[in-house]
Amino acid sequence: MITNQKRQPRGIFSLISLLTLLVSISGCDQANTNQKTSVENSPQVQEASQPSAKTKVVTTFLPMYLLTKAVAGDAADVEILVPPGTEVHEYQATPDNVKAIATAKILVKNGLGLEEFLDSTVKNAQNAQLVEIDASKGIKPLNEISLVETTTKAEKDHDHTIGNPHVWLDPVLAKQQVMNILYGLIAADPENKTSYTTNAAAYIQELDKLNSEFQQALQKKTNCTFVTFHDAYPYLAQRYNLKQVAVVQIPEDQLSPTEIQTVVNTVKKYKVKALFSEPGVDNKLLKTLAQDLKLNLRTLDSLEKGEKDPQYYFKAMRLNLQTLETACQ
């Protein structure tokens, strides 16, 4: 399915199509404004921008910060609501978050039901001018690709009523998120269109390169089956023909015998090749368990925590690629 010959031109074609798209947008800004963004309470595009103050953009959590900062560069001030290292899935908004949204012009979210804290926070901020950008607009969510084995004590990671929200972990879908963010920023802040467009094109080129690297490295490792402890990788798995066969949801602090048995049964049942934990999770029982099963316990980064530098996306994803390559031998 994945061929080598297609790799080279793909980046160039994407860039060309992006630029073509942008040229066509630039010709009809006014007409497109209302459709391109999900503008709540639909304010007219603000013409009276203060020349001295930069546009304030708030983003929800790290991946949205990284992609938005990549597009905005220095043309806008980009803030983050959920501090990296704090769980986005069960996040409780703070008064500072409400203040940040109240004074922002644009809010960028991942969507797909991930930011459960957002509805009430936005409501409390009472910012009628706020433009909301849903970065996952137009992306068809996956639902039941991975089988979830839940242990009794484990809490639910997040409801998948809308679909699995972890689309940013597929470089191709991340590209689509960058495009959504780009359209949204241009519509809300047309003055900086040139900067946004240039920045986005450069970042998309890097995403294309990353995608090529994944394709090349993983093309002979199809159907590599793995178990994770966080249902974060179905999009990545689907893109590169890997199999996230099961998600074992367990508490991070300790494992009960029942939970250990669940993992053992899952690994045997699905002939699992790899077991993936998360960076920063140091679970000795999990390590022992992996040893008993003769599987290496490795870490995959869902990018929900990490460095606030747009390049962190590539750094973390390349480490993920190395991990997958090694684990799927």
Q: Which residue has the tokens 């699992």?
A: 272
Could you say which residues in the range 37-66 bind Zn ion, by CB under 5 A?
none
Least Å from the CB of residue 114 to Zn ion? 8
Beta carbon nearer to Zn ion, 72 or 81? 81
Q: Which part of the chain contacts Zn ion (CB under 5 A), choosing from 43-51, 177-185, 226-234, 308-316?
A: 226-234
Q: Return the ∠ at Cα 212 (arms to 327 and 300), rounded to 5°.
A: 30
How far is 29 from 202, CA to CA, in rounded Å?
22
User: Hey, what are 256's tokens?
Assistant: 């009960």
Q: Report the residue number whose CB is nearest to Zn ion.
A: 232
Q: Tell me the window of 64-72, 74-82, 210-218, 224-232 that interacts with Zn ion (CB under 5 A).
A: 224-232
Q: Between 183 and 235, whose beta carbon lies closer to Zn ion?
A: 235
Q: What is the DSSP string of 222-272?
A: TT-EEEESSS--HHHHHHTT-EEEEEEE--SS---HHHHHHHHHHHHHTT-
Distance in angstroms (rounded) separating the CA atoms of residues 175 and 112: 16
Tell me the closest approach of the beta carbon of residue 230 to Zn ion, in angstroms.
6
Nearer to Zn ion, 57 or 232 (CB): 232
Q: Which is nearer to Zn ion, 36 or 89 (CB)?
A: 89
Map tokens 């093309």 to a residue.
Answer: 219
The SS3 call for residue 227 is: strand
Q: Report the alpha-carbon distance of residue 33 to residue 184 in Å, rounded.
A: 9
Is the Cβ of residue 204 or residue 227 nearer to Zn ion in the bound state? Answer: 227
Contact stretch for Zn ion (CB under 5 A) within 94-102, 130-138, 229-237, 275-283: 229-237
Positions 230 through 249 that interact with Zn ion (CB under 5 A)? 232
Separation CA 138–CA 161 (nearest Å): 17
Of 181-189, 205-213, 225-233, 285-293: span binding Zn ion (CB under 5 A): 225-233
Shortest reach from residue 232's CB to Zn ion, in Å? 5
Token couple for 45 = 């595009």
Rounded distance between C-alpha atoms, residue 181 and residue 23, angstroms: 17
Q: How far is the CB of 89 from Zn ion (least distance, A)?
A: 6
CB of 169 to Zn ion, least distance (A): 9
Residue placing its CB nearer to Zn ion in the complex, 78 or 247: 247
Query: Is the distance from CB of 103 to CB of 56 less than 8 angstroms?
Result: yes
Instruction: Give the tokens for residue 294.
Output: 């003769």
Per rule CB under 5 A, count of chain residues that contact Zn ion: 1
Binding site for Zn ion (CB under 5 A): 232
